[in-house]
């Protein structure tokens, strides 16, 4: 063409977009995770093309791979769903973080939310031990004596129940002023901890899970018997819990402020005897973990405590194969 501008089209670019859209549609419409081979077959694309486009979609948060290497909708879709405040997809997104935390600690790991004035666990990874394997899924637990519940209370996601606080054990806090002081400590150190408040012999730590806008929508916890979650070990477990809760928060679109949260001086890890009603703590308080960035584990952050699991008699410390979501009867440890 002379005397005018030549219009340049890009059929190859449009074709690439169309192909990527077909792959994305297959992933989103699939009732579960879908394999690479299934996607290539469903779209009729060459495996090399399928691989290249899936990598691009994954880089941009439109698809993600689970631990089995299968594809699911990515964080972009999760964040969009959370704009309405729905819990849809939360357990699917959270499962890899629960798995990593369970693998690192060997203890029961739970994800909890507030429902009808109680804590309800919506996802769980079982303990690797015979002692400490209670199934907490769907089991409501009081807010004020569970690590998960204290996190939800401390960050304003839940409100304390009206009337007198239920005493579950001699260590349960039943004084409103003592509970307020304990919740202030949760906010300072970034996680909650209980020792025998829910059931005798159960220890748990929990950290907050944030969504975009800095709102706490859930709590992540690690729990087990006091014979394993000793005062010396709790600090490390708390750091790991806060780190995974921060990583999950980042996946939900949370971007923390640059300033690090206030970190209190290390407290004595010594266990305390049963406390009276006006006591502010009934659990061992480990040295505060290094603050963790909610978007980048290992920097700065904070979080609520998981629910403590019930302690029962039986052979202790015997490892067993981990089975997530196993229907077999369990013996203790969650929340």
pLDDT recorded at residue 334: 53
Is pLDDT at 52 greater than 60 in this prediction?
Answer: yes
pLDDT recorded at residue 291: 45
Is pLDDT at 186 greater than 80 in this prediction?
Answer: yes
pLDDT band of residue 81 (cuts 50, 70, 90) is low
pLDDT recorded at residue 218: 94
- Tell the residue number behind the tokens 């299934």, with chain if given: 38
Exposure string of 299-330, with b = 16+ CB inside 10 Å and e = fewer, is: ebbbbbbbbbbbbbeeeeeeeeebeeeeeeeb
pLDDT recorded at residue 132: 64
Please write the tens of the pLDDT for every residue from 93-147.
888 999 999 999 999 999 999 988 999 999 999 988 877 667 778 778 999 999 9
Q: Which of 63-72, 84-93, 235-244 has the lowest mean pLDDT?
A: 84-93
Q: Between residues 41 and 318, which one has the greater pLDDT? A: 41
CA distance 55 to 61: 10
Greatest mean pLDDT among 25-29, 61-65, 183-187, 278-282 lies in: 183-187
Q: What is the rounded radius of gyration, in angstroms, for the C-alpha atoms of the chain? A: 23
What is each CA distance from 194 to 173, 221, 226, in whole angstroms?
Answer: 10, 11, 10
CA distance 164 to 114: 19
Helix 11-29 vs helix 36-43: crossing angle, to nearest 10: 120
Average pLDDT score over residue span 279-283: 40
Average pLDDT score over residue span 272-300: 42
- Tell the residue number behind the tokens 């394999």, with chain if given: 35
Q: Between residues 179 and 322, which one has the greater pLDDT? A: 179
CA distance 173 to 186: 14
Is pLDDT at 311 greater than 70 in this prediction?
Answer: no
**Phi-psi region for residue 122, left (φ > 0), alpha (ψ -120 to 50) or beta?**
alpha
* List of residues 6+ apart from 101 with CB closer than 8 A: 109, 125, 220, 222, 240, 241, 244
Contact in structure between 305 and 206 (CB atoms under 8 Å)? yes
CA distance 107 to 81: 31
Where, residue-wise, is CATH 1.10.10.10 in the chain?
A: 11-73
Q: Between residues 143 and 288, which one has the greater pLDDT? A: 143
CA distance 132 to 331: 6
pLDDT recorded at residue 29: 82
Tokens for 206? 């929990």
Average pLDDT score over residue span 66-76: 82
Q: How far is C-alpha 177 from the geometric centre of its chain's CA atoms?
A: 29
Is pLDDT at 239 greater than 80 in this prediction?
Answer: yes
pLDDT recorded at residue 277: 42
pLDDT recorded at residue 174: 93
Q: Between residues 137 and 54, which one has the greater pLDDT? A: 54
Class of domain 88-335: alpha beta
Average pLDDT score over residue span 156-166: 89
With CA atoms as reference, report the closest residue to 309 among 132, 47, 143, 188.
132
Is pLDDT at 79 greater than 90 in this prediction?
Answer: no
Is pLDDT at 249 greater than 60 in this prediction?
Answer: yes
Helix 90-105 vs helix 75-82: crossing angle, to nearest 10: 120
pLDDT recorded at residue 269: 39
- Tell the residue number behind the tokens 């909890």, with chain if given: 112
pLDDT band of residue 314 (cuts 50, 70, 90) is very low
Pick the CATH number of 11-73 from 1.10.3210.10, 3.40.50.1100, 1.10.10.10, 3.20.20.70: 1.10.10.10
What are the beta bridge partners of residue 64? 72
Please write the tens of the pLDDT for every residue from 16-47.
898 999 998 888 888 778 899 999 999 999 99
Write the DSSP symbol of residue 193: E
Instruction: Work out the percent of the chain whose per-residue pLDDT is above 90.
Output: 42
Write the DSSP symbol of residue 143: G
pLDDT band of residue 12 (cuts 50, 70, 90) is low
Where, residue-wise, is CATH 3.30.450.40 in the chain?
A: 88-335
Residue 206's SS3 state is strand
């Amino acid at each position: 063409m002379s005397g005018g501008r030549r219009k340049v089209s890009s059929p190859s670019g449009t074709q690439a977009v169309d192909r990527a859209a077909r792959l994305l549609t297959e992933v989103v419409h699939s009732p579960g995770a879908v394999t690479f081979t299934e996607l290539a077959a469903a779209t009729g694309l060459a495996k090399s093309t399928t691989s290249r486009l899936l990598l691009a979609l994954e880089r941009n948060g439109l698809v993600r791979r689970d631990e089995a290497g299968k594809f699911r909708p990515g964080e972009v879709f999760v964040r969009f769903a959370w704009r309405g405040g729905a819990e849809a997809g939360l357990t699917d997104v959270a499962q890899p973080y629960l798995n990593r935390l369970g693998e690192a600690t060997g203890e029961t790991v739970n994800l909890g939310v507030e429902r009808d004035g109680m804590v309800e666990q919506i996802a769980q990874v079982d303990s690797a031990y015979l002692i400490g394997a209670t199934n907490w899924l769907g089991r409501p637990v009081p807010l004020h004596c569970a690590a998960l519940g204290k996190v939800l209370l401390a960050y304003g996601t839940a409100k304390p129940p009206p009337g007198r606080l239920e005493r579950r054990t001699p260590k349960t806090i039943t004084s409103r002023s003592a509970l307020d002081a304990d919740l202030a400590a949760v906010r300072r150190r970034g996680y909650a901890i209980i020792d025998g408040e829910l059931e005798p012999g159960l220890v748990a730590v929990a950290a907050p899970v944030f969504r975009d806008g800095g709102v706490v929508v859930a709590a992540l916890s690690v729990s087990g018997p006091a014979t394993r979650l000793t005062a010396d070990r709790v600090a490390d477990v708390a750091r790991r819990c806060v780190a995974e809760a921060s990583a999950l928060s980042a996946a939900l679109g949370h971007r923390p402020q640059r300033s690090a949260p206030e970190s209190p001086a290390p407290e004595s890890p010594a266990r305390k005897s049963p406390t009276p009603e006006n006591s502010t703590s009934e659990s061992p308080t480990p040295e505060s973990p290094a603050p963790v960035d909610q978007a980048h584990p290992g920097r700065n952050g904070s979080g609520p405590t998981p629910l403590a699991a019930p302690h029962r008699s039986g052979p202790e410390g015997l490892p067993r194969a981990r089975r997530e979501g196993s229907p077999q009867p369990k013996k203790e440890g969650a929340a």
